[in-house]
Amino acid sequence: MENKRVIKGHARPYRFFSRFLIAGYIVLFIPPLLLLLIILSSLLVGGEPVMGLASLIALLVYTVQLIRGYRNLSKETPGSFTASAAGIDFTGTDTVIGWNQVRKWSRKRKGILVILEAGPYRSLQTFSGQVLGHDDGFAFLLRPDINSQDKNTAYSELIQLLNQNTKDRKKGDHDHV
């Protein structure tokens, strides 16, 4: 019976907080902020609408691009998972990540962080993505559904699955180089 236990829940890519991440957000969000500042200064003076209008159009184009990029990314990103004895099945991606592909895991306040050997992405297999994925792993935060059971049971069941299936491996078994 133990082995047939299935746990469903939400999954999302986990980003480690770093200077790198902040810099990424700055590069993404400072340009629209600057365009807003130009629009604001144009509005303040009133008589100079050309620059303000041009900035408004640029801002709209940028926003559309940003939303489109986000949609493409979220289309590829799994939103939920089903964990069973076979491994972690990321819904909608047709990939089951076997337990032997779990490099590391740890309990976080908001869920369980797993570092996977392979990513559950279909087409986001870019050169840089593959190299970084190989070196750093693919980090996902798993949050079991707590609708039917209480929070602690859902978490402990998932931890139990992780424990059972990863305990045989020695530390550093899958570290490359």
Partner 1 sequence: MITFKCRFPEDVPKDFRVATVSPVWRTLGLPVLCIGYCLYLACLPVTDAVRYSLIGIAILGTICGGLQLWARSVLGYGKSPHYPNVSKTADVFCTVDGSGLHFSSPDPSVVYLPEVSWDEIKSYRQIGSTLFLTSYKWAVVLVALDMDGHTLEEWRDLVELMKAGNVSEI
Residues that bind partner 1 (CB under 8 A): 18-20, 22-24, 26-27, 30-31, 33-35, 37-38, 40-42, 44-45, 47-48, 51, 126-132, 134-135, 177
Q: Output the smallest distance, CB 101 to partner 1, in A.
A: 13
CB-CB contact of 163 with 137 (8 Å): no
Q: Output the smallest distance, CB 26 to partner 1, in A.
A: 4
Q: Output the smallest distance, CB 57 to partner 1, in A.
A: 14
Whichever of 15 and 151 has its CB closer to partner 1, that residue is 15
DSSP 118-152: S---SS---HHHHHHHHHH-EEEEEEE--SSS-HH
DSSP 11-59: EEE-----HHHHHHHHHHHHHHHHHHHHHHHHHHH-S-HHHHHHHHHHH
Q: Output the smallest distance, CB 111 to partner 1, in A.
A: 25
The DSSP output letter for 153 is H
Whichever of 7 and 35 has its CB closer to partner 1, that residue is 35
Whichever of 19 and 170 has its CB closer to partner 1, that residue is 19
Whichever of 48 and 145 has its CB closer to partner 1, that residue is 48
**Long-range residue pairs from 36-41, CB within 8 A, at least 24 positions apart, any chain:** none
SS3 9: strand
Q: Output the smallest distance, CB 132 to partner 1, in A.
A: 6
Whichever of 134 and 169 has its CB closer to partner 1, that residue is 134
The type of residue at 22 is I
